[in-house]
Amino acid sequence: RLATGHDIVARIGGDEFVLVLHENNESFDERHQRIKAAVAQPLMIQGMDFTVSCSIGVAYYPWHGLVASDLFKAADLAMYKAKENGRNAVETFSQELLDSARQKFLRAEELRKAIQNDEFVLHFQPQIELKTGLVSGVEALVRWNHPLEGMLPPSEFISLAEETGVIVELGEAVLRKACHKAKKWSTNGHPRIPVSVNMSPKQFQNAGVINHVKTALRESGLDPSLLEIEITESSVMRDIGSAAGVMKELTDMGVTFAIDDFGTDYSCLNMLKKLPFSRLKIDRSFITNTPDGEQDCAIVTAILNLARSFKLQVVAEGVETIEQARFLRLAGCEHGQGYFYSRPVCDRTIDALLDKQY
**237: helix, coil or strand?**
helix
- Contact pattern from residue 298 through residue 337 relative to ligand C2E, giving x for each residue in contact according to CB under 6 A and a dash for the rest: --------------------xxx-----------------
Cα separation of 162 and 168, whole Å?
Answer: 8
| 28 touches, from ligand C2E, Ca ion, none (C-beta below 5 to 8 Å by class) | none
**289: helix, coil or strand?**
coil
For residue 142, state whether it binds ligand C2E (rule: CB under 6 A): yes
Which of 317, 229, 232 lies closest to 271 in space, CA to CA? 232
| 142 touches, from ligand C2E, Ca ion, none (C-beta below 5 to 8 Å by class) | ligand C2E
Strand locations in 224-307, DSSP E?
227-231, 256-262, 279-282
Cα separation of 128 and 345, whole Å?
Answer: 15
User: In this structure, which amino acid lies at residue 343?
Assistant: R
How far separated are the first and last CA of the chain, in Å rounded? Answer: 71
Binding segment for ligand C2E (CB under 6 A), chosen from 49-57, 58-66, 70-78, 154-162, is 154-162
Cβ proximity to ligand C2E: between 141 and 303 the closer is 141
Query: Applying CB under 6 A, which of residues 198, 256, 313, 324 lies at the interface with ligand C2E?
Result: 198
For residue 338, state whether it binds ligand C2E (rule: CB under 6 A): yes
Asked whether 278 and 258 are in contact (CB, 8 A), the reply is: yes
For residue 119, state whether it binds Ca ion (rule: CB under 5 A): no
Task: Give burial (CB, 10 Å; 0-12/13-18/19+) of 134.
Answer: middle
Tell me which residues in 171-200 interact with Ca ion (CB under 5 A). Answer: 198
Cβ proximity to ligand C2E: between 153 and 254 the closer is 153
Q: How big is the site for Ca ion, counted in residues (CB under 5 A)? A: 5
For residue 125, state whether it binds Ca ion (rule: CB under 5 A): no
- Contact pattern from residue 313 through residue 332 relative to Ca ion, giving x for each residue in contact according to CB under 5 A and a dash for the rest: ----x---------------
191 preceded by a cis bond (ω within 30 of 0): no
Q: Are strands 195-198 and 227-231 parallel, antiparallel or unpaired?
A: parallel
| 339 touches, from Ca ion, ligand C2E, none (C-beta below 5 to 8 Å by class) | ligand C2E
User: In this structure, which amino acid lies at residue 280?
Assistant: L
Cα separation of 41 and 63, whole Å?
Answer: 33
For residue 135, state whether it binds ligand C2E (rule: CB under 6 A): no
Summarize as ranges the residues that interact with Ca ion (CB under 5 A). Answer: 198, 230, 260-261, 317
Summarize as ranges the residues that interact with ligand C2E (CB under 6 A). Answer: 125, 141-142, 153-155, 158, 171, 174, 198-200, 260-261, 284, 318-320, 338-339, 344
